Amino acid sequence: MKNVSYAAAALSAAIMSCAPAGASTVTLVVPGTANPYLAGLPAGTTASSGDSAPSNSPVLVTGLEVLGGAAFSFSATGRVSLGGALGPDPDGSAPINHTGTPENGFSDVTMPRLSLLGVFLDEMLPTATSAPASLDFSSEASQSYSSLSPLLKQIFFIGDGVTDGGIAQTVVAPSGATRLYLGAMDGFGWFNNSGQFNVAVSGPDISTSPIPLPAGAPLLLAGLAALGALRGRKRGRFTGSNG
């Protein structure tokens, strides 16, 4: 009976460990030279009029679990420059699009120049599949979304991470996502940019990610519990007959 009890306890603990992952926040610096069209690409890859990896690669978010359906929020400060004056804040200035679009398998995008942006990837090289449709964040309303669900390789606007009303915005990772990169918005030639964004990213804590269990685990636990109870009743009847 002890073996059954131990097995049931162990399985119960494993099931408890499959509770949804807790939230966590990581901080990182995103330089103005971070070109999203080099995300996930090997050293030596080129893009956008003189940019190359890893010198102009965007910043990979680490310390959080990136997976399909996970929700992320951002809080950003700082300013970047396109070789001239620094921008106003992470929300950027006048909208532009990427001159060489689409590129390296990534979508075009229209959003404020000098703004903070992001892009989700899976484990494949971005160049292995065609680029998705572009998103348009040229209006204030489109920039002030409450929730956004971009596709893989679909570059999206983050800005300072809050709506016009000061409410934190949520970005939901697409199915298959395993990586999240952050960069700055420019039309071409990120190499001569300057400045940086200081970004706090909140999402699932990688240290408390759920451990997958077989679909029949709850039934197995119930069966072990029933077997333990049955053995207990049999033991009681046997003890009583010799009392």
Extents of the domains making up the chain: 21-208
DSSP secondary structure code for residue 51 in this structure: E
pLDDT in tens, 105-155: 999 999 999 999 999 999 999 999 999 999 999 999 999 999 999 999 999
Global confidence as pTM = 0.78
Q: Name the H helices within 75-216.
A: 140-143
**The tokens 């804040």 sit on which residue?**
89
Q: What is the pLDDT of residue 99?
A: 86
Mean of per-residue pLDDT scores for the chain: 84
* Closest CA relative to residue 119, chosen from 54, 188, 30: 30
* CATH number belonging to domain 21-208: 2.60.120.430
Contacts (Cβ under 8 Å, ≥6 apart) of 123: 178, 179
pLDDT tens-digit map of 184-223: 999 999 999 999 999 999 999 986 544 444 445 454 445 5
Give CB contacts under 8 A, 24+ apart, made by 162-166. 162/75, 164/140
Q: Looking up tokens 């990896």, which residue turns up?
A: 53
pLDDT score of 78: 97
4 strand-pairing partners: none
